[in-house]
Structures are given as C-alpha cells and as structure tokens.
Structure 1
Amino acid sequence: MTSQQPEQVKAELGVIPETALWTLYQRAAEARRPDAMLHDPKAVELVDRLDHPFAERFGTSPLQARLQAMRVACFDREVADFLEREPRGTVVCLGEGLETQFWRIDNGRAHWLTVDLPESVELRERLLPPGPRQRYLAADATDLGWAEEVDRSHGVLLTAQGLLMYLRPAQVRALIAGCAELFPGGSLVLDAVPHWFARLTRSGRMRTHGYQVPPMPWSMDAGERAKLRSADPAVAAVRDVRPSGRGLAGALLPLALTVPPLSTRRPSVTVLDFAERPGRP
C-alpha cells in the first residue's frame, strides 16, 4: 500500500511576494546537490509540493543557487549565535516569505514571529503550518504596529532578508529607526543589493527566462554600510557579515569578495546593534 502524496498547492502571488518562490527554488536547488553548502530539506519538500513552473520561469543556475545559499548561511549564522546567547529569545522575521530557517536552526526553546503581507502569510500557513512557538502575523513590515506583538522578555533579534531593497529609501530609514527605538539592546540583520544591480532592475534589464526581477528602489554598496548609523542615534554599531562556504568554490567566492571593486560594490549582509536604554532593568 503506497502512502498518499501531499496535495499539490498552486502559488499565485503578486510581483514582489513572488520573489519568495525564487529564493525558495534557489535554496532547494543548492540543497539537492551532493556537496550542498546549505542543508534545507524543507525547501526541497516545498518545491516538490508547489504547483509552479520553477525551472521554466526562473531558469537553472548552479552559481546563483550557491550564491543564494551563501547569503542565507550568513543569516543562519547570526540567528544561531543569538540563540546561543538567548536560548529563549524571540526571532522576528520581517517579510519572511517561504523562508525555512526555523526548520534549519531552531533550538527547541526560542519563539519565532513572521511578519509578512496577507497573501504571503496565507500561502505560508498552507505550506508551513506554525508550531506552538511560531506565530504568523499578516501585516506590512513598514507599519510598526506589529512591534506590540513581540515578546521582549528574553532578547530580540530581527531579520529583514530580501525585503529592504523593495522599499523606498525613506521607508528603509524609518524602519531601521523604529526598530532601534522599539527594541533597545536588540539587533537587526539585513541584506542589501549594490547600486549597479538595483539600477539594472529599475531599467528592466534584470531578466532570466520568463522572470522579470522587480524594480528595487533601495540599494547600498557594501562600502556604505556605516551610513546606516545615521538612521537613528540608537543604532550603536554596524557590522559586516562575511560569507563562508565549503569546497574550492565555497572558499574562493568569499575570498573574491574581499578584492576591489567587489569588496565595496557587492551584495552585503549587515548587522545593526541597538543601544540599551539607560536604566533598563
């Protein structure tokens, strides 16, 4: 007797929410490799379950999948380090889409809050029903009302992976400033695309197969990260997160990113640490 196969789920998302399918596909493609630098069986499971023409729409690029895995690993490393320090802390994932980080690095004690647009949350709930320590909140990440839902009692780490580049510059500054004021002692892990890449998306020249990358209003060269401190006085420190990887390619790619002009004009992952409030218990 054969086991019943999970029902196929059709994904119908808007232009920007659809980017969650692109990143999911890249993670799964890397995870399927025998020498994968990212172990993500949940991503493979979701790609197999979704009724979506992934290969036809996004194409196939082992290099793109590996680069995506390196970016994701930067976020995983920062979240894992936070959970080492604060095992019962809260991880707030802004614009999480179909990210499967919880299944990769959850420690069994932390609390996770996903904040995303209603259509993205609806699909996530169907594919990844939340467990007892997970909560999904349908809201615009730029509307800081979601902050009232965050448990601050054991430390907070916020992530904005694949989100900020789709916001206007003023929205990015306001979001950083709001998080800095609302989560003293916390941190925000974010990623950015360089200016040259964002210009290509805005000109419509960033296209692969049947997929047009959405325009990206906000960008930041890696060498500009120190400017993020100007978003708010409560941004106490800015730190670059360098990628790492396995094998020859995994070693050479991070090394190449240290050589100009890539060292200053590359995609980047950055951590912002927020100052404690004086007198905070």
Structure 2
Amino acid sequence: MTGRVDFSGVQSTMLVTLYLRALESRSEDSILRDHAAAEAVRRIDYDWRKLQQPGLAGNRFGVALRAKQLDDWAAGFLRRNPDATVLQLGCGLDSRAFRLDLPPGVRWFDVDLPDVVELRRDLYPDADGYRTIGASVTDPGWLAGIPADRPVLVIAEGLLMYLPTVEVERLLRRITDRFRGGELIFDGVAPWVAGFTQRLPERLRRGYPPYLTPLRASRDVERWDPRLRYVEDVAVTSQFAKIPDRTARAAHRLMSRSPALRDWLRLVRAEFGTSADG
C-alpha cells in the first residue's frame, strides 16, 4: 500500500475519477475495463468512504464514456503514427498508457505536479518508452526536454477547463511552436456549466475548483491557437447506447435530447501542421 493520500483543489478531482473508473471496471460489461484503476484504488491509503455519496456512483458511466472516446482517438492516431510522441497533460492517476496496446516505437510522457508523479511511480510499472515528468503543465520549462522529431499526440483530459483562458492559449501555442505536427484531443464544458461552478459557494463546491475556460463552440480551439484545426467533436451523452445499465442508459438518452444537456461535456479532436490523415 502507498503512503496516505489526501489531495485538495484540482488534484482532488483525480481521486474521484480514479474511483469512478475503478467502480465501472467491476461490471461484467464494463465500457473501459480499467483494471489498473481498480488495483490503484486498492493500493492507495485513502478513505474512499468519502466518495461513497448518493448519486456519485452514477457518474461512473460518463467518466468511462469520456475516457473510452479519448482512448479510441488515441489508438487511431497511434495506428497512423506508430513512432509518435504522446504528451498526456495533467495525467493525474490515469492509466491510459497501460490500457492501450501501444506500438513499440511510441514515446509516452505523462505530465503532472511532482507529488502526483511521485504517487504514480508507486502505482504503475516502469515501461520501455514511458516516462513521467513532475511539473506544472503551465510551466514552460518542462517542454524543452521533450524531443520534437516526431508527430505528437497531446491528450488533455479534465485539464483545460480548470485553467484561465490565457494559460490555455499559452500552453497550446508552446506545443504548436515546438512540434511540426500532430493532434490535440481534449474535453470541455459548456459555458452554463462553467458559470454555475463559478457562482457556487465554496462550501457547496466541497473543495473542488470552478471551471475557468468553457467551450462555447468546438472551434474555440482555433481561437485559442490559430494553428490548430478543428476535426471533430463528440458529446459524451450521445454515447448512451454503450451504457450497460438500463436506468443510466435511459437517463443519458434523455439528456441527449436536450441541446443544453447533451453538450454540457464535449470531446474535441484537432490537428496542426503536417497530418498523417492526408
């Protein structure tokens, strides 16, 4: 078992998503089959009873659908670019590098704050081509150590919405400055969701930070960095058919019929520079 963990602020959200991915993986018809998450929950010394709240368990399907779509996009990019570099920004305790069947030539970098990376090193094994970097993603220094000689896949799950827009723009422009071409895949929340979290009193947010940069339209990514080109987007609720639980599937189907609720969380794929898609 690892040392006791009690993160707060943005970092606390990674414990929630890890717990929900582990919970979802216990189902026979699991969407994500993230067994590494289940093992990590078993090994972390944390009072998981804090997360056994009414209604929270139902969120496991949305978390799994989001991760599965990003997994599928990542797998597609790596099939087209088997020698790519992958940057997973604000990786938290995500096990994507171990969930995916990576081509042997891939270089994978998981980036997060030093205390998160220290915990990751206790939980996940070393692997050829895999490396962790303990740094804030908004610190320009860490990127200088990443070789820029290959196409790059940038994964930003549960990250950009927590950063001020100016920091989002700086981060993306540093990446497109450094690499000749690649893709960015990320998630974003609707403006009404961000506004709600900003107006919510601290005591009701229970330590969770507000969303600072909403996704007004999927092509916002082109405004954040004009070198990025929008390719496609997916509303998480629109994937309701993949949910094995009948009640949860019906709830997500109902949400998908309302534009505001359907688009509360969207996943976006964008590209820049030279593209292997032709």
Q: Which of 269, 272, 275 pairs up with 2:270?
A: 272
Q: Which residue is 2:260 aligned to?
A: 261
Q: More helix per residue: 1 or 2?
A: 2
1:55 is matched by which residue type in structure 2?
Answer: R
Q: Which of 17, 22, 25 pairs up with 2:16?
A: 22
Structure 1 segments, 4+ long, off by >6 Å, are: none
Q: Which residue is 1:200 aligned to?
A: 196
Q: Deviations over 1:27-75 (max 9, x none)?
A: 0111112221110110000111111122324525332000110111111
Which is worse superposed, 141-150 or 250-259? 250-259
Deviation of 1:206 (Å): 8.4
1:161 and 2:157 equivalent? yes
SS at match of 1:181: helix
Q: Which residue is 2:222 aligned to?
A: 229
Q: For residues 255 and 74 of structure 1, what CA distance do their matches in structure 2 show?
A: 20
SS at match of 2:10: coil
Q: Which residue is 2:210 aligned to?
A: 215
Q: Deviations over 1:229-259 (max 9, x none)?
A: 1223311334213543244555873684364
**8 Å contact 1:142–1:171 — kept in the other structure?**
yes
Q: TM-score, normalised by structure 1?
A: 0.85
Q: For residues 117 and 178 of structure 2, what CA distance do their matches in structure 1 show?
A: 24
Q: Which residue is 2:88 aligned to?
A: 93
2:145 is matched by which residue type in structure 1?
Answer: E
**8 Å contact 2:151–2:180 — kept in the other structure?**
no
Q: For residues 146 and 214 of structure 1, what CA distance do their matches in structure 2 show?
A: 25
Q: Deviations over 1:241-278 (max 9, x none)?
A: 35432445558736843642334x4111111211239x
1:241 and 2:234 equivalent? yes
Q: For residues 79 and 254 of structure 1, what CA distance do their matches in structure 2 show?
A: 26
Q: Which residue is 1:113 aligned to?
A: 109
CA distance change for structure 1 residues 235 and 131 in 2, over 3 Å: closer, same or farther? same
CA distance change for structure 1 residues 207 and 104 in 2, over 3 Å: closer, same or farther? farther
1:78 and 2:73 equivalent? yes
Q: Deviations over 1:149-187 (max 9, x none)?
A: 223334210111111121111111222222222223211
Deviation of 1:130 (Å): 2.8
Deviation of 1:200 (Å): 2.8
Q: Which residue is 1:4 aligned to?
A: none
Deviation of 1:19 (Å): 1.4
Q: For residues 176 and 234 of structure 2, what CA distance do their matches in structure 1 show?
A: 19
CA distance change for structure 1 residues 242 and 251 in 2, over 3 Å: closer, same or farther? farther
Q: For residues 207 and 79 of structure 1, what CA distance do their matches in structure 2 show?
A: 37
Q: For residues 258 and 202 of structure 2, what CA distance do their matches in structure 1 show?
A: 25
1:102-141 to structure 2, matched below 5 A, reads 102-109=97-104, 110-141=106-137
1:172 is matched by which residue type in structure 2?
Answer: V
2:53 is matched by which residue type in structure 1?
Answer: G
Q: For residues 105 and 258 of structure 1, what CA distance do their matches in structure 2 show?
A: 32
**8 Å contact 1:201–1:213 — kept in the other structure?**
no
Query: What are the ranges of 5 or more consecutive residues in structure 1 without an aligned counterpart?
Result: 1-6
